[in-house]
Each structure stands twice: as structure tokens, then as C-alpha cells.
């Protein structure tokens, strides 16, 4: 009797162990799949999309920084998510989106990213390419504008514009037909004491970014400065830097208004 009971307990323990291991493996795999900004995950996603995508799909690839990732939006959607909803509502085609944004990314890092095989492959398939970049170059977590030195900002801007030109050229070489949207910067520090000075810096930054974009075929600069100008704190997350859900919706609506069907 004791021997039979021991066998039963051992069998139950083995089953429970298998169930636990199965759940652990699933959790690990699920966690890996969530990291869409990782280049390795990008490669895996591109294999899936190459099987599913066809000429009847509307393909969107988003690259850039934390604004592309949607950081600060409590819903987790970000402007890419709200834009996707808008596109699905207006288009008869299935909309496929690849969000390759990486939080904290600066222009030199994005330039390196768009040169990788996996990202180039994604860009090649896109109908629309969305880019947010430059905020981390300029603001440096607020340090640049807190220690306001025009000469230093000029140097940062010069490097950024070189990188931006190279990014847009690389993206265009990967895809000759897609429309590229470069989303401009807003000023999250507009209500601080030096708000006028920082706004002047951001306006000049946006102007030069727009000029760089204008030199590239089928590349559209999307202004956002005015969207946040009058009520910036209403549209910012608690970190007073990233947009909240309302702010991201404003950006998505601006981009959606420029889409052609």
C-alpha cells in the first residue's frame, strides 16, 4: 500500500514539474517576443511578416526613439498605435505595422540600426516609413537646455543633421517608393523660465530638419511644435518629457491627415 502510494505521489510530482517547466518556457518566450525594439527580435518578426505580407497589405515600418515606442502613454499604444487604428478605420486593406523604435536612441544609433540586414529587409517591404529622432540628441535628458550654451547646441545640431541626412539616404536606398514621414520635435520645457530661448532652439532644429527632409524624394516633415505649444503640460506624461495618451493622439492625427490612400 505504501509502495503504491509512493508511486502515485512520485507520478503527481513529475506531472506538476512538467506543467511548471512548460509555463516557465512559455513565459520566457513571451517575454522575448515583447522586446520588439531588439534587433534580434526584429529579424524574427521580419521572417514572419515575409510569409504573411502580400501586395494587398498596407505595410508600415516605424523607426526611431521612445516616441516611436510610445513611452509615456498609459495605454501602451503611442502615436503608432493610434495611427494604426486610424488607418484600419479608413483603409480597405489589412494594415501591418512593425515598430522598431528603441527608447533612448540617438541619431548615430539609428543610423547604425538602419544599416543592419534585418531592418533593411523590413524597410524594403514598407509602404510608409515613420521616423522620430533628434529629441535625445538635443535634450540629453534636459541637460542641454538646463545648461544653456548656444555654441554647444550648434555643435550637437551639426552632428545630428549629418546623421539625419545619412539616415534618410540609407532608408531611401532600401526603399525607393515608400513615403517617409519625419516627425518633428515639440518643446517639453516651454513653460520653464528660459522657455522662449529653448523654443527658439527647437524651432531652428525643426527648420533645419525640415530642410534636410525636403531634399529627399517622397519625404515629408511632420511638425508637432504647435500641437504642444499652448497647453504642453496637458499633453505630457508625469516625467514632463514624453507625451501622454492625449499628446500621442495629437501626433497621430497630424500624421494621419498627411497620409494618401
Condensed to tens digits (0 to 9), the pLDDT of residues 82-132 reads: 999 999 999 999 999 999 999 999 999 999 999 999 999 999 999 999 999
Q: Tell me what the mean pLDDT of segment 225-238 comes to.
A: 96
pLDDT bucket at 40, cuts 50 / 70 / 90: very low
> CA-to-CA distance for 162 and 3, rounded, in angstroms?
77
pLDDT tens digit sequence for 216-231:
999 999 999 999 999 9
Q: For the whole model, what pTM was predicted? A: 0.79
108 shares a domain with 11: no
Handedness of CA 22, 23, 24, 29 (dihedral sign): positive
The pLDDT assigned to 75 comes to 92
Same-domain status, 25 and 89:
no
For residue 182, the SS3 value is: strand
- Interval 43-70 mean pLDDT: 71
Together in a domain, 17 and 116: no
Q: Report helix, strand or coil for 131.
A: strand
17 and 44 share one domain = no
Give the integer Cα–Cα distance in Å for 134 and 13. Answer: 55
Q: Residue 28 is part of which domain span?
A: 1-34
Tell me how far CA of residue 11 lies from CA of 3, 17, 22, 53, 162, in angstroms: 12, 10, 17, 46, 66
Domain count of the fold of the chain:
2
Amino acid at each position: 500500500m505504501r509502495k503504491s502510494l509512493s508511486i502515485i505521489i512520485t507520478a503527481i510530482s513529475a506531472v506538476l514539474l512538467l506543467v511548471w517547466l512548460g509555463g516557465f518556457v512559455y513565459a520566457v518566450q513571451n517575454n522575448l517576443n515583447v522586446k520588439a525594439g531588439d534587433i534580434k527580435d526584429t529579424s524574427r518578426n521580419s521572417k514572419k511578416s515575409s510569409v504573411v505580407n502580400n501586395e494587398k497589405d498596407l505595410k508600415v515600418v516605424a523607426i526611431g526613439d521612445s516616441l516611436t515606442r510610445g513611452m509615456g502613454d498609459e495605454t501602451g499604444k503611442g502615436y503608432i498605435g493610434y495611427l494604426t487604428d486610424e488607418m484600419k478605420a479608413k483603409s480597405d486593406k489589412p494594415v501591418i505595422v512593425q515598430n522598431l523604435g528603441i527608447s533612448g536612441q540617438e541619431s548615430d544609433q539609428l543610423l547604425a540600426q538602419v544599416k543592419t540586414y534585418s531592418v533593411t529587409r523590413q524597410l524594403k517591404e514598407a509602404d510608409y516609413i515613420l521616423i522620430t529622432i533628434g529629441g535625445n540628441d538635443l535634450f540629453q535628458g534636459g541637460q542641454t537646455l538646463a545648461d544653456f550654451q548656444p555654441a554647444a547646441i550648434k555643435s550637437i545640431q551639426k552632428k545630428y543633421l549629418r546623421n539625419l541626412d545619412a539616415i534618410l539616404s540609407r532608408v531611401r536606398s532600401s526603399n525607393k517608393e515608400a513615403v517617409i514621414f519625419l516627425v518633428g520635435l515639440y518643446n517639453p520645457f516651454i513653460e520653464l523660465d528660459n522657455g522662449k530661448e529653448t523654443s527658439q532652439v527647437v524651432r531652428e532644429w525643426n527648420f533645419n530638419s525640415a530642410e534636410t527632409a525636403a531634399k529627399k524624394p517622397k519625404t515629408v516633415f511632420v511638425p508637432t511644435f504647435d500641437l504642444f505649444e499652448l497647453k504642453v503640460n496637458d499633453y505630457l506624461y508625469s516625467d514632463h518629457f514624453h507625451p501622454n495618451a492625449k499628446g500621442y493622439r495629437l501626433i497621430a492625427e497630424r500624421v494621419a491627415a498627411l497620409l494618401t490612400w
